[in-house]
Amino acid sequence: MSGTASTVAIVGAGHAGGNAAALLRQYGFDGVIVLIGAEPVPPYQRPPLSKTYLTGELDEARLWLKPSTFHAEHRIDQKLGAAVLSLDRAAKQVALADGHVVNYDKLILATGSTPRTLAIPGHDLDGVVTLRSLADADTLRSRLGSGTKLIVIGAGYIGLEAAASARRLGHDVTVLEAAPRVLSRVTGETVSAFYAGEHRTQGVDLRLDAKVAAFVGKDGALAGVKLDTGEIVPGTLALVCIGIVPEVALAQQAGLVCTNGVQVDDDARTSDADVFAIGDCACRPLPRYGRMGRLESVHNALEQAKLAAAAIAGKPRPACDVPWFWSDQYDLKLQTAGLMEGFDAAVVRGDPGARRFSVWYLKGGALLAVDAVNSMPEFLCGKKLAGSDRKLDVTTLRDPATDLVRFAADTLA
């Protein structure tokens, strides 16, 4: 399609959609690109919203994915503050809330996800919030004032990052987690225990096995969170961070195959050959793990943007990496390469007490994933090894004296 006057419409101007537009041009696509986003702002990075943007260390100007002149210079027609209400695959059109219709030859769905909410009494009280968008982060920032008592519900990445940021600002923070450990969906027990200890040391009142039953209000505003034990945890602001659901309404309405996200193939193509789905909303093949799955990360958004843009521009399929993630809490950088699910052995290198260590998750002797805390070199070596089925020499891996760069090179030779 490169060089032809066709139109690619992209629905969702977030991390995946914004990158897909830029990559189409980078890969030589010369047709019309229409980037349509429901939010009133150009594509931006979400990770700082729970980290340095929330603490005020990073200002808005540094959130944007591209400089302000980029889209005009690259002939990318941005339609912002424009929600797409429907998709007509037969007519190859999307209809916007303002009544406009955009025709396409190829369509990329990059609609992201929305925060899960708690359908419990009091969920609509003033002071019960979620964190997904820049607007949400601004609301949260404006409500974190003196005397705020923040209750974070959910000890996943975003909940713990927001808790750490609020503590750095000096606020009183309670974290309520229904599971017996923090980060239980994404890491093993050693890392969970380390982060639980760290948050407690930093002054967070972390409650595990704490199941939320209701939000309790006074004069229409939040006054606390009631647990299933009947205890009421006092608080003026509750941030609900209990995961996300993929935004698949358009795809479903248009009859695309959706199961836990829009199903796509290795090129990010949906069950309609002219429609692609990328980022948080897409359920993609994960060959290393023998299953389909959704990945909620910047790396995945960018990688799938590359896949879709390359397929549309007629370029070879770009190589894929193992999934990788990061989380910044206090002065700790957690970097994860691979998915640890189904591991049968875990090797700890370094010393959690020194706040610098890594955990290597193995299955049948091959590396599934590594978690590295303040250990960039271990993350980088683990990333290489997690992409391979080669068996690791566990005795050498366990040895603190092992030069990991050499170890990775020897293992992969």
Q: Under the rule (CB under 6 A), what is the footprint of ligand FAD?
A: 11-17, 36-39, 46-47, 49-50, 83-84, 110-112, 131-132, 158, 247, 250, 279-281, 296-299, 301, 325-327
367, 338 Cβ separation under 8 angstroms: yes
Overall size of the chain counted in residues: 413
Q: Which of 107, 61, 100, 104 is nearest to 83 (CA)?
A: 100
Residue 254 or 368: which CB sits closer to ligand FAD?
254
The least CB distance from residue 140 to ligand FAD, in Å, is 10
CA distances for 157 relative to 37, 160, 254, 308, angstroms: 26, 5, 33, 28
Q: How far apart, in whole angstroms, are the C-alpha atoms of residue 204 and residue 166? A: 10
Residue 85 or 397: which CB sits closer to ligand FAD?
85
Residue facing ligand FAD at closest CB distance: 14
206, 193 Cβ separation under 8 angstroms: no
The least CB distance from residue 382 to ligand FAD, in Å, is 16
Q: How far apart, in whole angstroms, are the C-alpha atoms of residue 173 and residue 374? A: 24
Residue 131 or 392: which CB sits closer to ligand FAD?
131
The least CB distance from residue 301 to ligand FAD, in Å, is 4
The secondary element (H helix, E strand) that includes residue 406 is helix 404-412
Residue 279 or 352: which CB sits closer to ligand FAD?
279
Residue 276 or 362: which CB sits closer to ligand FAD?
276
Phi then psi dihedrals of residue 46, to 5 deg = -85, -30
Residue 122 or 261: which CB sits closer to ligand FAD?
261
Q: Which of 210, 115, 202, 125 is nearest to 161 (CA)?
A: 202
The least CB distance from residue 4 to ligand FAD, in Å, is 26
The least CB distance from residue 250 to ligand FAD, in Å, is 5
The least CB distance from residue 390 to ligand FAD, in Å, is 26
Residue tagged 């925060």 (tokens)? 115
